[in-house]
Amino acid sequence: MLHRYPGVTKKEPDAFSGNCPTRELLDRIADKWTTLIIGILGRADGPVRFGELRRSISGISQKMLTQTLRDLERDGLVIRRLYPEIPPRVEYSLTPLGQTLDEPLRALARWAERHMPAVRTAQEAFDRR
């Protein structure tokens, strides 16, 4: 969307526009694995090891966890720390930017938990039609 002011043209993000890069970010943060990873890291008292994350997220494969963490690191939401030990130790934590995402995702999770019975009822009514 372009806003025109006398002598100034400024292009602002518009997530509804097909070519806006905001859509890529929305895809990332709307992903179920991202939501769960951010939630776990946001509740942790400190950095979380890869194995702890994997055990905490039922159903996620090692490959999917690795890819999602890599994407979150690339986006500046997660910090990965590698310790040169035998065996190597890797820990993850939220960046300050990632911490700003934790609260809205928690609110979304609370909404889903609170409204799941109503959604199930609606689904069952739809399926009976």
pTM: 0.81
DSSP per-residue letters across the chain: -EEEETTEEEE---TTSTT-THHHHHHHHHSHHHHHHHHHHHH-SS-EEHHHHHHHSTT--HHHHHHHHHHHHHTTSEEEEEE--SS-EEEEEE-HHHHHHHHHHHHHHHHHHHHHHHHHHHHHHHHH-
pLDDT surpasses 80 at 43: yes
For 73-97, the pLDDT digits (tens) are 999 999 999 998 998 899 999 999 9
CATH architecture of 31-128: Orthogonal Bundle (1.10)
